[in-house]
Amino acid sequence: QLQLEESGPGLVKPSETLALTCTVSGGAIRGSSHYWGWIRHSPGKGLEWLGSIYSSGSTYYKPSLQRRVTISVDTSKNQFSLKLRSVTAADAGVYYCARHPGIVGSNLDYWGQGTLVNVSS
């Protein structure tokens, strides 16, 4: 059974960079033919897809966040990561990682249980 688990600081200061990692177990990212993405749930915007990375390393970002978001993959550790720069209070919320089979119109078939991130000085 595939499992995903998010990890990272629960508190980030305004203007700094939020960095989270998703560790995948029960299956390999390398050669998986799947996309690996980040979704967040915030009080102001509800659920919001932030971006995804294909197992080969190609990235896809939400257009409005493209300047601040970077997603990378480390297949040797079976992990993928999110960096969100210049955070504000609006970036606080629960961050989820998930797997999806396609990039347009696909479902998200496996999710992590989420990690709460607060933004405060």
The residues that touch other proteins, with contacts defined as CB under 8 A, are 4, 39, 44-49, 62-63, 96, 98, 104-114
Nearer to other proteins, 54 or 111 (CB): 111
The minimum distance between CB 19 and other proteins, in angstroms, equals: 21
Nearer to other proteins, 16 or 70 (CB): 70
Nearer to other proteins, 62 or 85 (CB): 62
The minimum distance between CB 103 and other proteins, in angstroms, equals: 9
Residue type, 9: P
Reduce the DSSP state of residue 11 to 3 states and report it.
strand
CA dihedral sign, ordered 90, 51, 11, 87: negative
The minimum distance between CB 98 and other proteins, in angstroms, equals: 8
The minimum distance between CB 111 and other proteins, in angstroms, equals: 4
Nearer to other proteins, 7 or 76 (CB): 7
Phi, psi of 81 (to 5 degrees): -135, 155
Reduce the DSSP state of residue 89 to 3 states and report it.
helix
CA dihedral sign, ordered 96, 57, 82, 93: negative
Single out the residue of 61, 84, 82, 60 nearest to residue 71, CA to CA.
Answer: 82
